[in-house]
Structure 1
């Protein structure tokens, strides 16, 4: 009987220590409602980003970027790093551009992406653009 109590005390001490570690280092989860507007905005951002990436597949765009010394991978990486507001702005500029300026508009769009990322210190592609910071 006495040995059983001694083992129970040891077991209860171990359990107390394990429970205190479990509750101390646990992370609580926070759940919340996702609004329809937020969901639509995220899907629109993903769609805009994919449309810009699809434009990179055009051979004329690839040729023009190669002439400028910019790789397709650099452009794709910068498109992935754009904020939703920047993506929406670029998509609006593309939508307002005349239909005949397709390739030129895309090239100008990519140049704007490069300039903005250089200004935000994310890259250093153009030496004549100074970082804002």
Structure 2
């Protein structure tokens, strides 16, 4: 009888220690995972939607003709749109919202020209020969 009680006690101590070790390992594993907040996901999705809307404006034939006459390919424009930061994209969309209704195509073209000038200044591209790199 005494042997059975001491065996039970020994097994219960071992099982308790094993349970505590596995619990600590799972807590440590949970703490190391990175959680992404809802606001971060919403901001990223809004950025993607803004980029898609801008690329949709680029699909307009009049815009493509005007850019082609200036020697700028649609691929270059798309690369630059993809490289815009969230604040630059928000500023651009605000400018588009404030533009008059009939000036949409001209506004888009002027915006792309400004974006090209900024990327030339930042040494990302070299489209305009009269703009020197800032470096």
TM-score range, shorter chain: 0.7 to 0.9
- Using the size of structure 2 for normalisation, the TM-score is 0.73
Higher share in helix: 2
2:68 pairs with 37, 60, 66, which one? 66
2:58 pairs with 34, 56, 59, which one? 56
Within the alignment, does 1:100 sit opposite 2:102 as a pair? yes
**RMSD, aligned α-carbons:** 1.5
- Using the size of structure 1 for normalisation, the TM-score is 0.74
Partner of 2:104, secondary structure, is helix
2:93 aligns with 91
Structure 2: tracts of 5 or more residues without a match = 1-31
Measure, in 2, the Cα distance between the counterparts of 1:129 and 1:47: 31
Instruction: Report the alpha carbon displacement of residue 85 of structure 1 after superposing the two structures with TM.
Output: 1.2
**Bigger Cα Rg:** 2
Within the alignment, does 1:41 sit opposite 2:43 as a pair? yes
Structure 1: tracts of 5 or more residues without a match = 1-29
